[in-house]
Chains A and B, each alone.
Chain A
Amino acid sequence: IAGITQAPTSQILAAGRRMTLRCTQDMRHNAMYWYRQDLGLGLRLIHYSNTAGTTGKGEVPDGYSVSRANTDDFPLTLASAVPSQTSVYFCASSPLTSGGAYNEQFFGPGTRLTVL
């Protein structure tokens, strides 16, 4: 693995189903993030984690949950998917949570999710 990987690449899901999007990084970054990107709205932060064992809510957390059991993995779970969660989901990581350029975020390739 080099950088950040996400799985699956794309998924079509029936409404009401549970779904976990996976994210793994091998850069030993402290901070990790989940965004959704919708046309015309830019990147919106769903949840974040500043370090293993801690998580926080972003701008649009409702309907999503995360966990950070270790440094490398940061899965995002949709407990009961709804059509408004159709979006492209990006996972990102950064070395530190403060300190200028160390806030640079590195992005995974994204997961395209369609909820019908």
Chain B
Amino acid sequence: GQNIDQPTEMTATEGAIVQINCTYQTSGFNGLFWYQQHAGEAPTFLSYNVLDGLEEKGRFSSFLSRSKGYSYLLLKELQMKDSASYLCAVIDSNYQLIWGAGTKLIIKP
């Protein structure tokens, strides 16, 4: 079966750095997305990785290791508005998106 694992919940302090991990086992791999979802709202795109390595975009960076079936999302200089759920999704061999259950990130002052 296909499986994506993320921690259910994480807590971090405003101004700090947090790393959210995602491991996947899917039938094929054609890319990986990270989405942000604030409570009561729709998911919105954060990043896309298809090659190994780090993609940096402002305060957010995403890393991929295809050989390990592993990705992480790194959030720097945390702000209260970063409190949200972060969803990892993998494109499988049929070009379908397989979604993780998401990681709820709680930011404390």
Q: CB within 8 Å of B: which residues of A?
A: 40-45, 48, 90, 97-101, 103-110
Give chain B's interface residues, CB within 8 Å of chain A. Answer: 8, 30-31, 33, 41-45, 48, 50, 87, 91, 95-97, 99-102
Count A-B contacts at CB 8 Å: 50
Query: Quick one: which of A40, A99, A101, A110 contacts B42, CB cutoff 8 A?
Result: A110
**DSSP majority for the B interface?**
loop
Whether the Cβ atoms of B30 and A107 lie closer than 8 Å is no
Which of A42, A44, A103, A108 is in CB contact (< 8 Å) with B31?
A103
Q: Which residues of B contact A48 (CB under 8 A)?
A: 96
Minimal beta-carbon separation of B90 from chain A (angstroms) = 10
Instruction: Report how far A107 CA is from B33 CA in the complex, Å.
Output: 14
With A40-B101, A90-B42, A109-B41: A97-B95 Cβ-Cβ less than 8 Å: yes
Given A104-B45, A108-B42, A110-B42, A42–B99 Cβ distance below 8 Å? Answer: yes
Shortest beta-carbon distance from A86 to chain B in Å: 16
